[in-house]
Structure 1
Amino acid sequence: MTDTGRNPGTPLAPDWFDTVAVNTPAAERRAASLTARRTVKKEWQAAWLVNAIRCIDLTTLAGDDTPARVQRLCAKARQPLAPHILQGLGLEALTTGAVCVYPTMVAPAVKALEGSGIPVASVATGFPAGLMPLPLRLAEIRYAVDQGAAEIDIVISRAHVLSGDWQALYDETAAMREACGDAHMKAILATGELKTLRNVYKASMVAMQAGADFIKTSTGKEPVNATLPVSLVMVRALRDYGARTGARVGFKPAGGMRTAKDAIAWQVLMKEEMGNDWLQPDLFRLGASSMLADIERQLDHHVTGRYAASHRHALA
């Protein structure tokens, strides 16, 4: 990411979202229609899948992460497709959008990606629950940035949303944005724990008012992660925010997406709702590492006419 066009945020403005109502059945119908009315095949499907790779935040957030595992993941980020697939597609080079790790793994990732142009993202602020004192959450952000993270994925306090304490949510998120410094901030809303689509819209708007450069659906650790109806509501929120402020905020669905079909579905959502600009990695990311293996398998089939066994496209 570059520093051009960052979201500067605004003062908290509850009147932008207080009276918003979300028609849940209509949102569900609209989300279902996106995949029902649009199909892409053959070389066009291949092009959409290649674009999805460019937008993937290749991620490892496991308790047994080691520098060696992170190095292997970074090697995959540098070369996400097997050479014969890349050659068959007529591409010289391709990388993922970023590599996302825990703060303690940022330094090994930065070293492994040196010279590649691939940014390192780090989760922070007591990921995934965010239930740590604010000074510790801010300290974790600063640590990750000091280690070389160019992007920080923070988690909001769900309790502030559920109690309607928008001022507290705004103040915390703004403090996190300040702690990020030059690093871009993605605000994870953990939508599966926000109960209603109205809450999703409101939390999205507050996060953007507080200066989030991206809004992100999930940590990947909730019972329900990214869904198309939730994503639709968040995208409508960032569209409304952009119409009011002129700021361009990015979107990152994460968790629950595993297939090449999912990769296309979320890109169709962005194209239909936001236009082609939001099909670029500076405004759209996919937080779904397991999806890459299926994308590579589908592209292998496109190039060779044969499906490879899944184990031939391991992530790391």
Structure 2
Amino acid sequence: ALPPAPPRPPVAAGADEIDRVLDRGAFLSGRYLKVYEEILAVKAECGRARLKVIFETGELSTYDNIRRASWLGMLAGADFIKTSTGKVGVNATPANTLLMLEAVRDFRAQTGVQIGVKPAGGIRTSKDAVKFLVLVNETAGEDWLDNHWFRFGASSLLNDLLMQRQKLSTGRYSGPDYVTVD
């Protein structure tokens, strides 16, 4: 029997978006050039695929670090910046998302390049989502109110949206058997 074929790189397999988690160890120890070069190397492999750099903002500890990571990611070629994988203690918050929105707004003002933002983790209800959408509109502007530039990463939000839709159409909320359990 022939050995299995090596896996195809994601872009060669048709991926249109690549995720890269920021090397927080290097970043937090001040090795910004290493972090920049790693993101740059991944961007070089992306071809036409968009690069999303994920920060784990809850582990970056300070607002200055979140702002610095945002700029570092954008300067290295990120097409999208994301708060978190959703798998750590602190994920998307209005405060850390605000910092990232200010960064993309200011980056576009200085370079003419628009970068997307994706808050992920902790956005569980439709009411939470509306708060973030207001934050986007008031901080970055209407241009970001499009899924090409702003997305939520929140599976529990989908559950709430489905229940809200059911409530609008029938007058009653769905039971837990009609949505996924996270």
Task: Report the TM-score, using the length of structure 2 for normalisation.
Answer: 0.91
**Partner residue in 2 for 1:185:** 51
Q: Distance in 1 between the 2:172 and 2:113 partners?
A: 45
- 2:83 alignment counterpart: 217
Asked whether the equivalents of residues 226 and 255 of structure 1 are also in contact (C-alpha less than 8 Å), the reply is: yes
Q: Which amino acid aligns with 2:154?
A: A
1:293 alignment partner, one of 159, 169, 173: 159
Q: What is the distance in 1 between the residues matched to 2:62 and 2:179?
A: 38
Counterpart position of 1:143: 9
Q: Structure 2: how far apart are the matches of 1:208 and 1:297?
A: 37
Letter in 2 for 1:207: G
Shift in Å, 1:303: 2.0
State the match for 2:61 in structure 1: 195
For residue 146 of structure 2, what is the aligned residue in structure 1?
A: 280
Match of 2:3 in 1: none
Q: Alignment partner for residue 99 of structure 2, among 218, 225, 233?
A: 233
- Does residue 168 (structure 1) correspond to residue 34 (structure 2)? The answer is yes
Residue 171 of structure 2 corresponds to which residue in structure 1? 305
Q: 1:205 aligns with which of 56, 59, 71?
A: 71
TM-score, normalised with respect to structure 1: 0.53
CA distance in 2, matches of 1:166, 1:308: 48
Partner Cα distance (2:180, 2:65) in 1: 38
Large movers: runs of 4+ above 3 Å: none
How many residue pairs match? The answer is: 175
Q: Is the 8 A contact 2:123 2:157 kept in 1?
A: yes
Q: State the 1:223 CA deviation.
A: 1.4
Listed as ranges, the gaps of 5+ residues in structure 1 are 1-139
Deviation sequence 1:211-268 (CA, Å, 0-9, x none) = 1000000011111111110111111111111111010000001112221112212111
CA distance in 2 between counterparts of 1:311 and 1:266 reads 28
Q: CA deviation at 1:182?
A: 1.0
Maintained 8 Å contact 1:293/1:310: no
CA drift of 1:149 comes to: 1.4
Aligned counterpart, 2:4: none
- Indicate the SS of the match to 1:241: helix
Report the Cα distance in structure 1 between the residues aligned to 2:59 and 2:67, rounded to whole angstroms.
Answer: 13
Give the alignment's Cα RMSD to 1 decimal.
1.5
| Structure with bigger RCO (C-alpha 8 Å, 6+ apart) | 1
Report if aligned partners of 1:300, 1:306 keep a CA contact under 8 Å in 2: yes
**Distance in 1 of aligned mates of 2:15 and 2:124:** 26
The answer to whether the Cα contact below 8 Å between 1:190 and 1:219 also exists between their aligned partners in 2 is yes
Letter in 1 for 2:47: G
Offset, 1:201: 0.2
Which consecutive unaligned segments of at least 5 residues does structure 2 have? Answer: 1-6
- Counterparts of 1:304 and 1:276, CA distance in 2: 32
